[in-house]
Structure 1
């Protein structure tokens, strides 16, 4: 007999792992991005994003290991914060490092 609660628990656990991976990816990108790129792009400062994404990674990890509920307000806020970073801030600060498209450029950047 199929136990629906076991299947749902597995689905929510996989979603919690995915949320943690998303938060960790956003935090890793924020750590590697220069602080100057955040100011040039007109976004929050690097320390502010590191604090937000660090807490997001902490809460999503707590949900993944079962310490915090998967559908708690902290887990949902963590996914929203990392989603905002990945959808809005990451592309904006990524354009800063490329240097534009004027002139000829090779496979490794402008010449």
Structure 2
């Protein structure tokens, strides 16, 4: 991927990690240009967001503070890794689950 592609998609890539609203804004920012770098980070961010909701909703009903607290720490670390790699212009998969997100959400897992 060339530097111009990364430069053009960097804003949408970073915005995609800033809450669910940022993900929606980044999607529309990238809807016309179809930037490969931004699309990669959109898939990573969407995967993290979906995972968060799919895991936290059941955990909140179980009311197990150690489980939900541990997951929040893990989620925050993965989110931080994603936003930092987007900000640095790197196309790095989120550890543990990044390749799964790329496969499920329609991307490839090539770095």
Same fold (TM over 0.5): no
Which structure has the larger Rg over C-alpha atoms? Answer: 1
TM-score range, shorter chain: 0.3 to 0.5
TM-score, normalising length from structure 2?
0.44
